[in-house]
């Protein structure tokens, strides 16, 4: 069957870039359980059926670049049955509502959580530990939504995150000194928000090696000048104000 492949008993569906239109049937995932589901770059519309969270063995789920709308999760949390999920990608749609957290008991190894370029609103999830958006996430993209309120850096595990992109939202207030606690960070983008105050000097505590030079973008906010302790010039090219 076109777009459907099997590896043993594991089924994968790849119908990306196929000019698909219409809605995904509400009972679609009750009738099939793909380990990989990819329908990106189509014109699918309507709501995302809730049954996808119950797919056992789900590894990758990609519905990006469509016209899907409504909340990603009606109750504000994605409680996946699968413990194998590594990527959930829903970028470039018309999803609304709050940013869903991920149930830690299920998707314990998810690395990529990409929800950018939607209409998500409300505030960032609060709290640390099991209340984080996802404890093992390495790539979190929430740019170009309508998220507001204070910048909560506790929404991710700062010992795990590699990329955190919150650009193009309505985040306000100051930046916490805990920004210096990121240990695996490669890229942080907080540009095009409404942040104010001074960027904490703790940012210089990020790990630097000849192989790793993290980048941070704070442009188009209301931030004041660099801390005096930054004037020694070390790696200044990576800071974008």
b/e map 31-67, b = 16+ CB within 10 Å: eebbbbbbbbbbebeeebeebbbebebbbbbbbbbbe
Region of poorest pLDDT, from 18-32, 118-132, 211-225: 118-132
Q: What is the DSSP letter of 175?
A: P
Determine the pLDDT at residue 140. Answer: 96
Sign of CA dihedral 54, 59, 65, 66: negative
146-155 per-position pLDDT tens digit: 999 999 998 8
Q: What is the pLDDT of residues 38-68, one digit of tens each?
A: 999 999 999 999 889 988 889 999 999 999 9
Given the structure tokens 């998707």, which residue do they identify? 107
**CB-based contacts of 184, cutoff 8 Å, min separation 6:** 138, 159, 160, 161, 162, 207
What distance in Å separates the CA atoms of residue 49 and residue 46, rounded to the nearest whole number? 9
Q: Give the list of residues 6+ apart from residue 9 with CB closer than 8 angstroms, or none.
A: none
Percent above pLDDT 90 for the chain = 58
State the Cα–Cα distance between residues 141 and 112, nearest whole angstrom.
8
Residue in this structure with the two tokens 């994968």, named with its chain if needed = 12
The CA-atom distances, in angstroms, between 118 and each of 16, 99, 205 are 19, 10, 33
pLDDT at 125: 85
Q: How far is CA 235 from the centre of its chain?
A: 27
pLDDT at 133 (0 to 100): 78
Question: So what's the pLDDT on residue 108?
Answer: 55
- Does residue 127 surpass a pLDDT of 70? no
Sorted by sequence, the CB contacts under 8 Å of residue 169 that are 6+ apart come out as 142, 143, 144, 145, 146, 147, 148, 192, 193
Indicate whether 228 pLDDT > 80. no
pLDDT, position 206? 86
pLDDT for res 225: 66
Q: What is the tens place of the pLDDT at every residue in 84-114?
A: 889 999 999 999 999 998 875 554 578 999 9
- CA neighbor of 69 nearest in space, from 120, 113, 141: 120
User: For residues 125 and 113, what is the distance between their CA atoms, to the nearest angstrom?
Assistant: 14
The percentage of the chain sitting over the pLDDT mark of 70, rounded to a whole number, equals 88
Mean pLDDT over 70-94 rounds to: 91
Mean per-residue pLDDT for 29-37? 90
């Amino acid at each position: 069957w076109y777009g459907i492949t099997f590896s043993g008993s594991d089924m994968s569906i790849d119908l990306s870039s196929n000019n698909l239109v219409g809605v995904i049937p509400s009972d679609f995932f009750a009738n099939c359980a793909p380990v990989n589901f990819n329908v990106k770059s189509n014109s699918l519309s309507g709501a995302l059926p809730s049954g996808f969270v119950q797919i056992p063995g789900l590894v990758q789920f990609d519905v990006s670049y469509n016209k899907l709308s409504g909340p990603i999760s009606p109750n504000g949390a994605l409680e996946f049955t699968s413990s194998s999920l590594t990527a959930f990608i829903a970028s470039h749609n018309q999803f609304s509502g709050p940013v869903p957290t991920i149930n830690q008991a299920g998707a314990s190894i998810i690395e990529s959580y990409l929800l950018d370029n939607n209409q998500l609103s409300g505030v960032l999830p609060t709290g640390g530990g099991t209340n984080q958006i996802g404890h093992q996430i390495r790539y979190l993209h929430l740019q170009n939504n309508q998220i507001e309120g204070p910048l909560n850096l506790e929404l991710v595990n700062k010992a795990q995150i590699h990329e955190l992109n919150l650009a193009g939202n309505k985040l306000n207030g100051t930046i916490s000194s805990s920004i210096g606690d990121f240990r695996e960070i490669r890229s942080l983008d907080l540009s095009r928000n409404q942040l104010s105050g001074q960027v904490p000097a703790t940012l210089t505590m990020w790990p630097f090696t000849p192989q790793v030079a993290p980048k941070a973008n704070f442009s188009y906010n209301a931030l004041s000048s660099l801390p005096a302790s930054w004037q020694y010039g070390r790696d200044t090219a990576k800071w974008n104000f």
